Chain A
Amino acid sequence: MNKKRNINNNIIFVFKLFAFLCFLLFINIVYLQVFDAKNLMENPHNSQVLEKGENILRGNILTKDGTIIAYSEKQHTQNIRIYPQDKVYSPMVGYFSSRYGSDGIEATENLYLSGNNKNLNLLGPLGKLFTNDYGYNVRLTINETYQNAAYNSFNQKGAIILLDAKNGEILAMVSKPSYNPNTINKEWDTIVNSPNALLLNRVTSGIYPPGSTIKPLIAAGALNYNLINKDTLLDGNSNWQIGPDYILNNDEKANFGMISLNKAMAVSSNTYFGRLALLLGAKKLENTFDTFGFDKKLATDFPNTLPKMPDFSELSKGEIVQMGIGQGSLLVTPLRMSMLASAFVNNGTIMKPYIVDQIEDRNGNIKEKNSPEVFIKTVSSDIINTVADSMEEVVTYGTGKRAKTKGVKIIGKTGTAENTSGKDHAWFMGAFHINNRAIAFAIIVEEGGFGGAVAAPIIHNIINQILAKEGD
């Protein structure tokens, strides 16, 4: 009798054990179907989503004014993706291939484009009543005129970004050289193996030393800490001995004498800004970069690379000077430089750049609309104005004078960045005012040489094309 009771107890124990195991099964399934579902659905290998997409005509990608960049069409039994603009919008818009997955906007907005609506999925079979046969359309903030102007303005390797400083809308994003997304399947091997990194979006993920284009930030920092004012004179001559092996020169070893901020910015005096960097010191330098958001992740509707900054506490005197002229271990993306520029025409506020304006259904009804957001507030308007004035002199008579365009107010800063590849990268960043808008920009021509000679004229070219199309 005792034994029997014992065995019965054991049986009950085993039952409880199994009930617990079943509970574990249940929890795991809850995790799969509720918590991890979105992740699994966005996995590029998930053919469930693709299959669902097969029955639905994928949505269009459009510019703000409605020009079609990508659309799908049924040919015979298959849906084919067509890109009427060829290379102009790659790799920003990306590609969509059943074999090779997707990239760019095609990837980040895939759930909308393929018509999947995760909320409807939760409804299960009821959701089928509300599902369309068409995917949603994605309308970008990109302006066709600006994009074409930027694309046609240069032929070398590099990147251009134009954005509206007041609201963060990206008006043009060009990365060259790029690929033709129409023939992605046929040319995949060539594209992937090209030494020119055709798939790289140089605007968001190309990482380069900023060179002299960082000088406005250095100036803003020094003004912010009251180390100088706009009339303070510092030694702008060449031949500045910093360490036993380190002599800093201006370009072409020019001597400028004792100069103030405006002159220093216009001629891009390395020694002036090197001295500013030393005045700031490592900690204040680090704080200045933080103030302008260089260590803050940009969470927006496209992936982007965070700037690479050194460990400021470990910087030697010479390295601090290098920071002041944008060399050393500092690496930035063109996107971040355009964001820096935007601060100087928006009272110190940097808006969050974004590229998706709204999601619409086939009939134009808005499903979701993105609105401008502030990314970071930097320094006071007074400091902004002081630095902006000096940047205007860059274009009026300084290193950036080849950007000068009649009737258009432009501020900027050139950069000629030494880098490991040998030939210097040519930079030009800044902003121009046109049609009541303030457009911030950054241009880089890889291994292009002097910023003033190579990059600055490009913006002149772009503005002229825009004026021709849009008038004033």
Chain B
Amino acid sequence: MIKDYFNIIIWPSIFVVSAFLLNLLIKGNIPQEDILITLVFISSFFLLGIIFRKINKAIDIYLFYLVYFFTSISAVLILNLKPNLFFHQMLWIILGLWVAFIIFIFRDRVLNILNYTYILGFISLFLLVLVLILGTDINGNKNWIILGPIQFQSSEFAKLFIIAFLSSFLAENKNVLSLPNKSFKFFYLPPFRFLAPLLTIWGLSLMMFVVLRDLGSALLFFGIVVIMTYVATSRKTYVFLASAFFLISAYFSYLLFGHVQTRVAIWLNPWSDPTGSAYQIVQSLFAISYGSILGTGYLNGFPNLIPEVHTDFIFAAFSEEFGLVGSSILIIAYLFFFYRGITIALKSVDLKYKLLAFGLSMSILLQTFIIIGGVTKILPLTGITLPFISYGGSSMLSSFISLSLILAISTKERDYE
């Protein structure tokens, strides 16, 4: 068992170490602290993987491998893109891993909070309203909350609470929410107090976009609510209602807001202003296409021509240097992460855990789809992160917490039918 483990876990480690050596070769020197923290990174993953398995054999170890794969890519990319931020990023990754570990140890108690539906609801509401009021503008994104020396992206944590709330709420109320109603044959509406929380989240997502100009979070929250509700209730009504709501609010926000019009314009035709408002997406497209099939090779691209390359556009940098081959492997890896997540969800007996495992893994893939879609012009550009890879403490922490919860659920009672 341990031998198999080593055989797999060794590869990302080799990847990271070779990247290091290449950097050393080409760039000259690497600060001692970077080397040390990388060693801590590699050994933490080695160690904790074994300990996770020892604690509970039923754990889905593939998720763990995948996260090591993603974070090692993050390490390799950030080392080249922003060497002065490398240490911080590694710190967050290691912190995230250990937080995941601790949560896992106390998993029974942690998963217990799913019983307190309305507390979860209020915390979600609180976090969202907090950021709407206190949100500070950093780099055009007002998603940040600053408390003294600490600054964090509140939406990353609000996302977790929303998913937890929805899992709890939908599990509890799904019978009511999916009751057939005799009055309207096709178009069905449940009692308002059940619909209210869903509407609130839709509304707040819209606010996130309008007030904070954070299209990414709005799309993400909206998508999470709609998909989870559909899965729990099997009612397409919600999907139709939500889509209608979405289209109407999209239409009106386009008419009313200049910044919306700009975004749509540069999404549909970035060539109309390639050196101005569409500069980011244009540079992203150039970088990605330059990579061609095999990529330019690590350290061979010109990713620093892309603004925000360590956060929003990190996929563009990866795609340039590792080409179509690398991009495909990465997308498949995220899809595989979702696959493992739903495998756990499908086998769960308890409905709350089923929905939680599904919701958390779905939100990671949805987030990935939104940001990759944005930098390749399938979707309008948004400011959300690529999970486990983009630079950012809040994002990394919340992703690791998601991982930990999914792993926790994988050890719960299973339905082997």
Contact = CB atoms under 8 A, between A and B. Distances in A.
A157 B305 CA distance: 43
Interface in B226-279: 227, 230-232, 234, 274-275
A233 interface: no
Interface stretch (B101-109, B120-128, B331-339): B331-339
B294 A126 contact: yes
Given A29-B324, A33-B327, A45-B275, 20 more contacts: A4-B415, A7-B354, A12-B342, A14-B362, A18-B362, A22-B332, A22-B334, A22-B335, A26-B331, A28-B376, A32-B288, A40-B286, A41-B289, A45-B286, A46-B290, A49-B290, A121-B290, A125-B294, A125-B296, A126-B294
30 contacts: A3-B174, A4-B351, A4-B354, A7-B231, A7-B234, A7-B354, A8-B346, A10-B231, A10-B234, A11-B346, A14-B227, A14-B231, A18-B362, A18-B366, A22-B331, A22-B334, A25-B378, A26-B331, A32-B285, A32-B288, A33-B293, A33-B319, A34-B293, A40-B285, A47-B283, A48-B301, A51-B302, A121-B296, A122-B294, A128-B297
A276 B357 CA distance: 87
Interface in B325-351: 327-328, 331-332, 334-335, 338-339, 342, 345-346, 351
B369 A25 contact: yes
Interface of B: 174, 227, 230-232, 234, 274-275, 282-283, 285-298, 300-302, 305, 319-320, 323-324, 327-328, 331-332, 334-335, 338-339, 342, 345-346, 351, 354-355, 358, 362, 365-366, 369, 372-373, 376-378, 415
A33 B328 contact: no
Interface in A95-124: 121-124
A46 B271 CA distance: 12
Nearest to A118: B292
A15 B337 CA distance: 11
Contacts of A4: 351, 354, 415
A110 to B, nearest CB: 15
Contacts of A254: none
A25 B331 contact: yes
Contacts of B366: 18
Main secondary structure, interface of B, reads: helix
Contacts of A11: 231, 342, 345-346, 354, 358
B300 to A, nearest CB: 6
A48 B290 contact: yes
Nearest to A24: B378
Contacts of B334: 22
Contacts of A12: 342, 346
Contacts of A32: 285, 288-289, 376
A18 B365 contact: yes
Q: How large is the interface on A (under 10, 10 to 19, 20 to 34, 35 or more residues)?
A: 35 or more
Interface of A: 3-4, 6-8, 10-12, 14-15, 18-19, 21-22, 24-26, 28-30, 32-34, 36-37, 40-41, 43, 45-49, 51-52, 121-126, 128
A15 B301 CA distance: 34
Given A11-B346, A32-B376, A33-B291, A47 B286 contact: yes
Q: Counting chain B CB atoms within 10 Å of each CB, which of A25, A37, A121 scores highest?
A: A25
A125 B297 contact: yes
A29 B286 contact: no
A464 B345 CA distance: 90
Contact of B300 (A7, A21, A125): A125
B237 to A, nearest CB: 14
A43 B324 contact: no
A414 B351 CA distance: 92
Contacts of B293: 33-34, 122, 124
Contacts of B354: 4, 7, 11
A33 B275 contact: no
Contacts of A124: 291-297, 323
Nearest to A9: B234
B288 A29 contact: yes
A48 B287 contact: yes
A15 B292 contact: no
A399 to B, nearest CB: 50
Contacts of B234: 6-7, 10
